[in-house]
């Protein structure tokens, strides 16, 4: 295979040389590293990876190709993929196309044959960085300057949110999902529980949402800094107490902001499928899938009506919160898994239960502790 | 919940001797467990009669009972020690069974001993086929339909119910023989008829066949708070049909989508919860390669071979964490020792590929059936880590020490297509090489997939390597482009294999690499794929990228390990390597260990200062030596593996410690060695080195018969035979020339002297020696020392003979300037002592003697190699005083697991492990070392005698005695005639296997005395007779000395069980019973 040489130029001026695979296209983005060993298809189709150059720590990627079932969105938003070794002869009964064929179809470039572990260690030491993928030539000073002056867009959510509302009919609870870049698995988890789901664009107003008379509202995952989608914070604030809320990922950060807490950027985030998270009350630990670069500031929760439900065992980051008075809770991790462990799928059951309870008590007011 | 304060003393059950299916992994697990308890201030009492283990060292457990693993022993120990808790999930199936037996007999209840960790109920649910099946149905997890049938009709009826194909597994047949897959009723009837006949209990398990499905394993942990995590997923390259212990295994899974990985993970967690395991659990799935359908095929509610592999593969110490869970901790309370900052509830993430390849004993047992199936046959395994599958594969292959440096089995090059196909269709130990050979012959991936059912993903990787090789061989060494050399090294093709491909020397390859500055880098195994900083220096090499291993400024010493466990080179060398590393640390140096065996303590990253998980070839060792700039390399502790690389290391300028390489070479070379003995006027067995056919026959003529013949440079008497007749010696040579891929010359031909054999180990500083003791073998010379019963102290040697032994040993040590260890074997004929051979390294008996005497032999040997003098270290030199109790080392065999391996004792080693029996009398030691044989013979069973003509007369006293003792003798015709002639009553058995089997099945015959003419000739009556004895689990004595010893010890009935300390402090006079 004669692939052109390509280079990953990092913000700090360092450069990794490897070989190009996938589409032949130069891109700029933010390099993030995921430690998930399987599930590359879900990761590269997750709208949360919008604008990201995703590097995999697991060295062999592409082993089972791309199949029809494991997409998290139909349009991928990932900027580029970095792997140690692209597996050129995939094998799986479900395989539709190879990863590389799929990348070419969608114009996604990839870089392989680089020391991804060295890249990981660099990012661990220096934090997440901007980077450019440059093809066929050693990066110049100009490339470095351009990268230095490149500012990451702030409108990722607008890029990935559905432009129009759409419906997935079901016989159960009516759920509105504020689509900030929702993974399809969230929809799968809801429809599996018979929910009647309506996906709506991120800029939809609270009034409009309540107009559909939902039993509950899910604030989805999505890319970028929660503070760049302040209009959604407003929407959530208006919905709080009027309808059960369930936030996931970005949705969790937005619920926190809506309740007066703060968020901050992490050094290099959590991206993987092996994070132990402890339920504060039962002390039981579950393993979760995570994919976030921002986090809720723990101290900022003190002056809010939020309480912590889940904590990360390793570094103590806030993994779950719940409103003390209103039916609203959220988790930083991904209960819908895909990729990652399915330990926390039960949170969707809790959400359905919360909606049921809220309907029963709706005339009596708020339901405390619906999730505990 | 933190540590329970009510547990002050814990009893740990070990797994006993190394046998196929239960090997060094339990020493690693047990050692971790003992240390995990000790560091909490808990007193540890251990029962394990395996002397070669680290766990039985007194630094690991507080009280060690090297006593038989029986209910009686453990009850006595419980009575004496009164432990608060017991852990039985660390001692393999042996430990698990013992715990169950103790619970059933209410012994634990009686003494108020709590089963820590996984409860007896949980174990029962996991072990009992029906209970487990019901539990799985209850929780909705799929298990295979299976049924034990006792007749053909029953089997057919069941198969009709579940549908074809079905798999049949006859119960308790040798090596699982007689099993197979039936696609229809006709085939099933045939299989059942055969299987029922073969099974000693007439039972066959019939099960829905899922041969060819993917086999996936998970290692799961659970704590008392119901937190569950999976440590590692593993995929067997060999699909269902080959025992996972015999399969090539890769971690993590390679060909599963995340959805499949997670579904199986969820199922695993569900099962471990339903069982209620606390600690570690292994679960195996079969996954349809064409759908998401799966079955749970096995659950082991304990640590296992797979958990040891997973621990080494991920860096997550499963046995340690399981123990912490057993004493109350939760997974989120225990720090992960690798990172020091994450917790045990963090699931490891790998950023490399791990490959395990099993090590089989077929190089020793050339006549054995090498097909693989549901009965495990491997004795050990190697593991390799790299950033690519190909890299890990090439590393693992050269770690096997199978005389191939790469992905090629030389004998296959000339083989017919049919032969290659057979190896592919019916898996054998050589299937991997057959796959490569198939690709060399241009076979398609699809074709090989059809034959093997191995997933195309793996096949494509092998194909890629073959294609690269073809590409390489388009060039000569001179014209080979650098890019291609770099590509070859990035796929981790060894210098030696490249040298073979290009017909140049390994040095040529190395020189060019040096010119190109082409060398590997080292990456850390850190459990977290680089996400967190790790503090544990556990490294593997790879050929691209940034080096992470930063050598320190300290003085550094490298200990070379012994590689995979195989017959002739077992766990004892791991014991020695570990002790050496500890001694190095103790002396203030940095201890660096290199090894490739995932089962062992030496590859526990917590042991040495730095661990390199690498193959043990000269190339791989040199890379580490050069990176670390080590100040010295120890080669005496890693068995023959380490000795074999000594010369090349020295040539490369590496400081090899201890006895010089020149001298080692001299001692290993028969001619030079005899010359030395002649100079010292020390008698040796007459022998000749034959360098060709002609010289061989000359030697035979000169020496006369019987003779011992073997190739030079051997491990464990490989391909060694004892011949009484010229025809046998001729046939052997023809055979050797046929099967051997390597050069067979020179052959060593020695006169055979059937005297008393003994051996000793010594430490020498070049001037003085310390000899902790002499072992006296029970079986006469001609039986491999590894397969002999051996007493320490000697029971029949005169003090004059002992004096001579010590004198010879001292003189050889001084003349050869031995610095470090040496093992010498002697034959004693009356008062005359001959030297048989010397091994300028640690030996099999070193751990035994170290333990029973308390002499830290390896530590002293390490220190003299660092320049210390024995008179400054040891309280006294020369032969040390004998202890006042007896130790009998007894070999343990796995022959029942290997079809067509003859259990006859001979010059070729066959045992896989050993136990020791300790006693205040000889008889007590015998009863404990051979508890089964002792128990059976005490019942005075019928004894079937079949004795070769030449041995009949010498055996008369023994046969007479047997009759006098009340054994009913059965004999084949020739032997019967002899007995009748001497008026010894006996029942004549037809010279017919059916007749023999009838009396075995009927229970009339309970033991066999069969002294063979030659042995190891499949098809002969004697061979079949011994196979039958194995099938029916009857003691089979092939050397009369063993039986004689047991008869002398039959009177001992009651035994007392004592800790090693008690024995050592015994001051009373030795009790002589003879």
* Rounded distance between C-alpha atoms, residue A358 and residue A174, angstroms: 13
Q: Is the pLDDT of residue A368 over 80?
A: no
Closest alpha carbon to B676 in B689, B667, B668, B685: B667
Q: Is the pLDDT of residue B716 over 50?
A: no
* Rounded distance between C-alpha atoms, residue B247 and residue B305, angstroms: 12
Contacting residues of B for A115, CB less than 8 Å apart: 544-546
Q: Residues B126-132+211-348: name the CATH superfamily.
A: ATP-grasp fold, B domain (3.30.470.20)
Distances in Å between the alpha carbon of A234 and those of A347, B214, B667, B896, B913? 25, 52, 87, 75, 73
- pLDDT for B712: 67
- pLDDT for B172: 82
CB B321 within 8 A of CB B334: yes
Map out the domains of chain A as residue ranges.
Answer: 5-149, 156-361
pLDDT digits (tens, 9 = 90+) for B300-359: 999 999 999 999 999 999 999 999 999 999 999 999 999 999 999 999 999 999 999 999
pLDDT digits (tens, 9 = 90+) for B2-29: 788 899 999 999 999 999 999 899 999 9
As a whole number of angstroms, the longest Cα–Cα distance in chain A is: 70
Confidence bin at A2 (pLDDT 50/70/90): low
Map out the domains of chain B as residue ranges.
Answer: 9-116, 126-132+211-348, 145-208, 357-515, 522-657, 666-890, 891-1048
ipTM of the complex in this document:
0.96
Confidence bin at A364 (pLDDT 50/70/90): very low
- On whether any CB of chain A is under 8 Å from the CB of B293, the answer is no
Tokens matching residue B706: 């019987």
The domain B9-116 is placed in CATH, from the list 3.40.50.20, 3.30.1110.20, 3.40.640.10, 3.40.50.450, at 3.40.50.20
Closest alpha carbon to A115 in A82, A143, A90, A71: A82
* Rounded distance between C-alpha atoms, residue B395 and residue B392, angstroms: 5
- On whether any CB of chain A is under 8 Å from the CB of B444, the answer is no
Task: Say which CATH class B666-890 falls into.
Answer: alpha beta
Q: Is the pLDDT of residue B742 over 70?
A: no
Give the residue with greater pLDDT, B712 vs A14.
A14
Tokens matching residue A94: 């479900």
- pLDDT for B740: 60
How many A/B residue pairs have CB atoms within 8 Å?
A: 170
Contact criterion met (CB < 8 Å) for B347 and A337? no
Closest alpha carbon to B592 in B620, B577, B611, B614: B611
- pLDDT for B717: 46
How long a stretch of residues is chain B?
Answer: 1074
Antiparallel, parallel or unpaired: β B987-989 and B969-972: parallel
CB-closest option in A41, A70, A117 to B351: A117
Closest residue in B to A267 (Cα) is B531
B residues 218-237 lying closer than 8 A (beta carbon) to A? 225-227, 229-230
> What pairs with residue B353 in β-bridges?
B386
Contact criterion met (CB < 8 Å) for A276 and B265? no
DSSP for A103-164, written as a single string = HHHTT-EEEESS-HHHHHHHHHHH-SEEEEEEESS---HHHHHHHHH----S-HHHHHS-SS
Distances in Å between the alpha carbon of B310 and those of A354, B242, B535, B598, B716? 41, 19, 20, 9, 30
Confidence bin at B782 (pLDDT 50/70/90): confident
pLDDT digits (tens, 9 = 90+) for B643-669: 999 999 999 999 999 999 999 999 988
Angle ∠(B596,B598,B600) on CA atoms, nearest 5? 100
On the 0-12 / 13-18 / 19+ scale of CB atoms within 10 A, B231 is buried
**Angle, helices B456-472/B482-490, rounded to nearest 10 degrees:** 150
Q: How far is CA B517 from the centre of its chain?
A: 39
Q: Average pLDDT, stretch A30-34?
A: 97
CB-closest option in A59, A85, A339 to B258: A339
* Main-chain dihedrals φ then ψ at residue A75, nearest 5 degrees: -105, 120
* Rounded distance between C-alpha atoms, residue A220 and residue A181, angstroms: 7
* Rounded distance between C-alpha atoms, residue A5 and residue B283, angstroms: 44
* Rounded distance between C-alpha atoms, residue A45 and residue B1003, angstroms: 69
Closest residue in B to A269 (Cα) is B531
Sign of CA dihedral B55, B58, B60, B62: positive
- Where helices occur in B373-455 by DSSP H, the ranges are 389-399, 417-425, 431-440, 445-452
Confidence bin at B739 (pLDDT 50/70/90): low
CATH topology for the B357-515 domain: Carbamoyl Phosphate Synthetase; Chain A, domain 4 (1.10.1030)
Q: Is the pLDDT of residue B866 over 60?
A: yes
Q: What is the dihedral of CA B200, B204, B205, B210, to 10 degrees?
A: 120
How long a stretch of residues is chain A?
Answer: 372
CB A218 within 8 A of CB A246: yes
Tokens matching residue B692: 């060709």
* Rounded distance between C-alpha atoms, residue B207 and residue B699, angstroms: 57
Tokens matching residue B753: 């002297």
In 3-state terms, what secondary structure has residue B263? helix
CATH architecture assignment, domain B145-208 = 2-Layer Sandwich (3.30)
Contact criterion met (CB < 8 Å) for A313 and B258? no
pLDDT digits (tens, 9 = 90+) for A312-348: 999 999 999 999 999 999 999 999 999 999 999 999 9
User: Smallest CA–CA separation between B322 and chain A, in Å?
Assistant: 16
Is the fold of B126-132+211-348 the same as that of B666-890?
A: yes
Tokens matching residue B587: 């002396």
Assigned CATH for A156-361? 3.40.50.880
CB-closest option in A35, A116, A283 to B528: A35
- Which residue has tokens 């988790």? A331
Contacting residues of A for B254, CB less than 8 Å apart: 60, 63
Check if CATH label 3.40.50.300 holds for domain B891-1048: no
Contact criterion met (CB < 8 Å) for B227 and A284? yes
Q: Average pLDDT, stretch B878-893?
A: 95
- Where helices occur in B426-535 by DSSP H, the ranges are 431-440, 445-452, 456-472, 482-490, 495-502, 506-515
Contact criterion met (CB < 8 Å) for A94 and B257? yes
Average pLDDT of the residues of chain B: 93
B1017-1020: list long-range contacts, CB under 8 Å, 24+ apart.
Answer: B1018/B367, B1018/B900, B1018/B902
Closest alpha carbon to B908 in B645, B709, B703, B706: B709
CATH architecture assignment, domain B522-657 = 3-Layer(aba) Sandwich (3.40)
pLDDT digits (tens, 9 = 90+) for B107-163: 999 999 999 999 999 999 988 888 999 999 999 999 998 999 999 999 999 999 999
Sign of CA dihedral B804, B860, B851, B81: positive
Q: What percent of chain A has pLDDT over 90?
A: 95
Contacting residues of A for B212, CB less than 8 Å apart: none
- On whether any CB of chain A is under 8 Å from the CB of B213, the answer is no
Q: How far is CA A171 from the centre of its chain?
A: 28
Q: What percent of chain B has pLDDT over 70?
A: 98
Closest alpha carbon to B310 in B221, B207, B435: B221
CATH architecture assignment, domain A5-149 = 3-Layer(bba) Sandwich (3.50)
- On whether any CB of chain A is under 8 Å from the CB of B246, the answer is no
């Amino acid at each position: 295979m004669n692939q052109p040489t390509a280079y990953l130029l990092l913000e700090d001026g360092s450069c990794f040389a490897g070989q190009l695979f996938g589409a032949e296209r130069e891109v700029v983005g933010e390099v993030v590293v995921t430690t998930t060993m399987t599930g590359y298809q879900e990761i590269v189709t997750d709208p949360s990876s919008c604008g990201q150059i995703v590097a995999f720590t697991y060295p062999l990627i592409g082993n089972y190709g791309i199949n029809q079932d494991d997409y998290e969105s139909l349009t991928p938003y990932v900027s580029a993929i970095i792997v140690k070794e692209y597996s050129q002869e995939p094998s799986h009964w479900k395989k539709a196309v190879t990863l590389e064929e799929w990348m070419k179809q969608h114009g996604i470039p990839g870089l392989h044959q680089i020391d991804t572990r060295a890249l990981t260690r660099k990012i661990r030491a220096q934090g997440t960085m901007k980077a450019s993928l440059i093809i066929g030539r050693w990066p110049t000073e100009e490339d470095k300057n351009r990268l230095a002056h490149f500012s990451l867009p702030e409108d990722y959510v607008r890029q990935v949110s559905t432009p129009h509302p759409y419906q997935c009919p079901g016989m159960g609870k009516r759920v509105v999902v504020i689509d900030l870049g929702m993974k399809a698995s969230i929809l799968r988890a809801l429809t599996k529980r018979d929910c009647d789901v309506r996906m709506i664009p991120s800029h939809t107003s609270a009034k409009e949402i309540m107009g559909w008379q939902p039993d509950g509202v899910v604030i989805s995952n999505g890319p970028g800094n929660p503070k760049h989608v302040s209009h959604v914070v407003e929407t959530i604030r208006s919905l709080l107490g009027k309808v059960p809320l369930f936030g996931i990922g970005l949705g969790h950060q937005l619920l926190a902001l809506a309740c007066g807490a703060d968020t901050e950027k992490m050094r290099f985030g959590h991206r993987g499928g092996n994070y132990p998270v402890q339920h504060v009350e039962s002390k039981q630990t579950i393993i979760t899938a995570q994919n976030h670069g921002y986090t809720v500031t723990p101290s900022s929760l003190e002056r809010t009506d939020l309480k912590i439900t889940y904590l990360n065992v390793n570094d103590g980051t806030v993994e779950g919160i719940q409103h003390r008075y209103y039916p609203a809770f959220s988790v930083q991790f991904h209960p819908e898994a895909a990729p990652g462990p399915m330990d926390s799928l039960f949170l969707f059951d809790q959400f359905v239960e919360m909606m049921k309870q809220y309907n029963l008590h709706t005339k009596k007011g708020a339901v405390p502790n619906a999730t505990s | 919940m933190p540590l329970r304060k009510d547990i002050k003393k814990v009893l740990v059950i070990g797994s006993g001797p190394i046998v196929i299916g239960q090997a060094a992994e339990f020493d690693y697990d047990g050692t971790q467990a003992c240390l995990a308890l000790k560091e909490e201030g808990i007193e540890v009492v251990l029962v394990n009669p395996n002397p070669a283990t680290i766990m039985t060292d007194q630094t690991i457990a507080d009280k060690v009972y090297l006593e038989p693993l029986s209910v009686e022993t453990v009850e006595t120990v419980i009575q004496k020690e009164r432990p608060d808790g017991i852990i039985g999930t660390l001692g393999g199936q042996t430990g698990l069974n013992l715990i169950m037996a103790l619970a059933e007999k209410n012994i634990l209840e009686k003494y108020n001993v709590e089963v820590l960790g996984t409860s007896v109920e949980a174990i029962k649910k996991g072990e009992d086929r029906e209970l487990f099946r019901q539990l799985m149905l209850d929780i909705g997890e799929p298990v295979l339909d299976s049924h034990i049938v006792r007749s053909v009709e029953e089997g057919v009826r069941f198969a009709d119910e579940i549908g074809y194909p079905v798999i049949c597994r006859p119960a308790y047949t040798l090596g699982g023989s007689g099993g197979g897959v039936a696609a229809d009723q006709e085939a099933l009837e045939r299989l059942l008829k055969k299987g029922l006949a073969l099974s000693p209990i007439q039972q066959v398990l019939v099960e829905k066949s899922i041969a060819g499905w993917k086999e996936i394993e998970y290692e799961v942990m659970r704590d008392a708070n119901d937190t569950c995590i999976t440590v590692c997923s593993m995929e067997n390259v060999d699909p269902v049909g080959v025992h996972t212990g015999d399969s090539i295994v890769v971690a993590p899974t390679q060909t599963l989508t995340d959805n499949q990985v997670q579904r199986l993970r969820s199922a695993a967690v569900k099962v471990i919860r339903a069982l209620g395991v606390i600690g570690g659990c292994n679960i195996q799935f079969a996954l349809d390669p064409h759908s998401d359908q799966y079955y749970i095929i096995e659950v082991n509610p304990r640590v296992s071979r797979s958990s040891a592999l997973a621990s080494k593969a991920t860096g997550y110490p499963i046995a340690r964490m399981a123990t912490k869970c057993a004493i109350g901790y939760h997974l989120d309370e225990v720090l992960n020792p690798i990172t020091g900052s994450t917790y045990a509830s963090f699931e490891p993430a790998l950023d490399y590929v791990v490959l395990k390849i099993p090590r089989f004993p077929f190089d020793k047992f050339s006549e054995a059936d090498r097909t693989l199936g549901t009965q495990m046959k491997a004795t050990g395994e190697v593991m390799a880590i790299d950033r690519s599958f190909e890299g890990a594969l090439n590393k693992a292959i050269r770690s096997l020490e199978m005389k191939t440096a790469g992905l090629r089995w030389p004998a296959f090059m000339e083989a017919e297509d049919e032969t290659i196909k057979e190896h592919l269709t019916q898996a054998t130990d050589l299937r991997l090489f057959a796959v490569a050979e198939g690709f060399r012959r241009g076979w398609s991936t699809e074709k090989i997939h059809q034959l093997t059912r191995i997933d195309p993903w793996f096949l494509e990787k092998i194909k890629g390597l073959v294609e690269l090789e073809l590409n390489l061989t388009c060039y000569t060494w001179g014209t080979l482009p650098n890019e291609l050399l770099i590509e070859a090294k990035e796929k981790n093709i060894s210098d030696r294999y490249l040298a073979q491909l290009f017909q140049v020397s390994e040095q040529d390859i190395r020189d060019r690499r040096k010119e190109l500055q082409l060398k590997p880098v080292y990456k850390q195994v850190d459990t977290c794929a680089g996400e967190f900083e790790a503090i544990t220096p556990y490294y593997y090499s790879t050929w691209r990228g940034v080096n992470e291993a930063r050598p320190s400024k300290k003085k550094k010493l490298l200990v070379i390990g012994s590689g995979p466990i195989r017959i002739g080179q077992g766990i004892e060398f791991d014991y020695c390597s570990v002790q050496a590393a500890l001694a190095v640390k103790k002396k203030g140096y940095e201890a660096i260990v290199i090894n490739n065996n995932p089962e062992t303590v030496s590859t526990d990253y917590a042991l040495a200062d730095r661990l390199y998980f690498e193959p043990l070839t000269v190339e791989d060792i040199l890379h580490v030596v050069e990176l670390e700039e080590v100040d010295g390399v120890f080669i005496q502790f890693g068995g023959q593996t380490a000795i074999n690389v000594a010369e090349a290391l020295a040539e490369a300028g590496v400081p090899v410690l201890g006895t010089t390489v020149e001298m080692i070479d001299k001692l290993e070379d028969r001619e030079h060695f005899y010359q030395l003995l002649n100079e010292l006027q020390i008698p040796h067995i007459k022998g000749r080195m034959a360098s060709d056919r002609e010289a061989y026959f000359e030697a035979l003529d000169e020496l006369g018969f019987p003779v011992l013949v073997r190739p030079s440079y051997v491990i464990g008497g490989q391909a060694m035979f004892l011949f009484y007749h010229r025809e046998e010696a001729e046939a052997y040579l023809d055979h050797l020339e046929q099967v051997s891929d390597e050069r067979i010359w020179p052959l060593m031909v020695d006169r055979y002297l059937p005297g008393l054999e003994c051996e000793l180990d010594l430490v020498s500083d070049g001037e003085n020696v310390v000899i902790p003791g002499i072992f006296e073998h029970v079986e006469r010379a001609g039986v491999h020392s590894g397969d002999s019963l051996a007493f320490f102290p000697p029971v029949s040697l005169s003090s004059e003979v002992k004096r001579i032994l010590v004198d010879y040993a001292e003189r050889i040590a001084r003349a050869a300037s031995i610095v470090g260890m040496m093992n010498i074997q002697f034959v004693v004929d009356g008062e005359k002592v001959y030297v048989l051979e010397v091994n300028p390294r640690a030996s099999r008996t070193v751990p035994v003697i170290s333990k029973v005497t308390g002499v830290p032999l390896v530590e002293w040997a390490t220190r003299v190699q660092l320049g210390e003098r024995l008179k400054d270290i040891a309280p006294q030199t020369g032969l040390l005083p004998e202890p006042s109790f007896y130790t009998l080392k007894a070999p343990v065999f796995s022959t029942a697991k290997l079809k067509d391996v003859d259990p006859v004792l001979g010059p070729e080693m066959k045992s896989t492990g050993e136990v020791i029996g300790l006693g205040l009398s000889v008889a007590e030691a015998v009863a404990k070392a051979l508890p089964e044989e002792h128990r059976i013979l005490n019942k005075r069973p019928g004894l079937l005698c079949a004795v070769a003509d030449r041995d009949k007369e010498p055996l008369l006293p023994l046969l007479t005695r047997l009759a006098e003792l009340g054994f009913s003798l059965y004999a084949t015709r020739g032997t019967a005639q002899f007995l009748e002639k001497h008026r010894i009553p006996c029942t004549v058995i037809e010279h017919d296997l059916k007749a023999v089997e009838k009396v075995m099945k009927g229970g009339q015959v309970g033991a066999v005395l069969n002294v063979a003419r030659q042995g190891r000739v499949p098809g002969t009556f004697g061979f079949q007779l011994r196979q039958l004895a194995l099938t029916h689990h009857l003691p089979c004595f092939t050397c009369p000395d063993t039986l004689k010893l047991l008869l002398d010890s039959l009177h001992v009935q009651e035994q007392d069980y004592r800790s090693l300390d008690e024995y050592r402090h015994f001051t009373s006079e030795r009790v002589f019973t003879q």
